[in-house]
Amino acid sequence: MALFRNLVGAAALSFAASGAWAYTGNDLLKDCSSDDAAERQFCFGYVLGAGDGWRGRILFEKTVDEMGDLQFMESVCVPDNVTKGQVLDIALKHMKANPEHRHTHAAIMVATALVDAFPCPRG
């Protein structure tokens, strides 16, 4: 988990330096909590897209690791039976529980929520 936290920290710093255009956890929570259906739909799509992208990266790393070219990094292992609604609930719960981190990039918030909820077994 320490490796992941270090990577998240480095990514957060690089995103922080990238300017005000970055979509933050505050932005995502605002859209997810909005009365406007379009903003809530955007939120849902963003969370699922960020989670899916993270999971795709993990699958790539596992494939490379099995070939012996890359040491697998500790990350997220979302069970196949987890629903899209659960992923959204996990991301929202994480953002609400960690307001001190909502200024970071929204994708980092979603990824951190998934890692905390579904850590890969050590072994």
Write out pLDDT tens, residues 19-54: 555 789 999 999 999 999 999 999 999 999 988 888
Average pLDDT, the chain: 77
- Specify the length of the chain in residues: 123
Q: Which residues contact 121 (CB under 8 A, 6 or more apart)?
A: 77
pLDDT greater than 50 at residue 17: no
- Residue 53 confidence (pLDDT): 82
Q: Which two tokens stand for residue 93?
A: 């719960």
Instruction: Report the SS3 class of residue 9.
Output: helix
Q: How many CB atoms lie within 10 A of CB 77?
A: 14
Domains by residue range for the chain, with CATH:
2-13+24-117 (1.10.890)
Q: Which two tokens stand for residue 63?
A: 């494939």
Q: Which string of DSSP letters, residue by residue, matches 12-27?
A: HHHHHTT-TTSPBHHH
